[in-house]
Structure 1
């Protein structure tokens, strides 16, 4: 459970003032397990700050992420696979899924162009003739 810094500080302050874990639980400022975990971590580390969670290292740096964004903004119609290929040429070995995640982090979401009917010269001319011929008509006509 995530607790705010103030709650952790309050729990430790009560603990330092001689309150037992049971007494602190009775105040109902946090669940029992959370209170005992905060006290235990404080005794071990001497700090109420939360350790940074571990995890898999990122494939790309901030600089490389900005480079990907520039590549994508240059050609907005490029697919994530094409962007991954270009990014690989710049020295970052990442999948198309990673490319999508990085662009999403930067606020760039995928789009698909709307399908529009293609108008040939003949279609354009025929439409104009139709509009001129029937432009004066009313709903009753």
Structure 2
């Protein structure tokens, strides 16, 4: 069955089901096994429910991304079309009328997220049928 999960990524439906189970006087241990959560996660879900008078999914913290998904897609497409371009050259090509020019570090991060390595391919001589 695997390790129990923590309560950071528990969906709204599962949280509501846990609350209903506790209100029906089911044991927290049984609920933990049923939903593959740690017992402390079950307790935390119920404590937050009592504190806020309801189940709330809050937006995760963190700085918002500077680029949107279209810009990210253009970064990856530009790099795949010409893999010999550096991140700075990709950043210069990607800028559009509605989006600001992404920083070189952002371009590197987006390429790494898409699985493209941070290196240029080796230049090799062209091999034709004769040689």
TM-score (norm. length: structure 1)? 0.58
Which one has the largest radius of gyration?
Answer: 1
Give the structure, 1 or 2, with the largest relative contact order (CA under 8 Å, sep 6 or more).
2
Q: Pairwise CA RMSD of aligned residues?
A: 3.4
Task: Give unmatched runs, 5+ long, in structure 1.
Answer: 119-123, 129-141
Task: Give unmatched runs, 5+ long, in structure 2.
Answer: 1-5
Instruction: Please point out which of 71, 74, 80 is paired with 2:81.
Output: 74
* Residues 48-63 of structure 1 aligned to structure 2 (within 5 Å): 50-63=57-70
Q: Is the 8 Å Cα contact of residues 91 and 104 (structure 2) preserved in structure 1? A: yes
Deviation of 1:61 (Å): 1.4
1:113 aligns with 2:113: no
Q: Is the 8 Å Cα contact of residues 68 and 83 (structure 1) preserved in structure 2? A: yes
* Residues 1-141 of structure 1 aligned to structure 2 (within 5 Å): 1-2=6-7, 4-5=10-11, 8-17=15-24, 19=25, 24-27=27-30, 29=32, 30-43=37-50, 44=52, 46-47=54-55, 50-88=57-95, 91-105=99-113, 107-110=114-117, 111-114=119-122, 116=124
Deviation of 1:89 (Å): 6.8
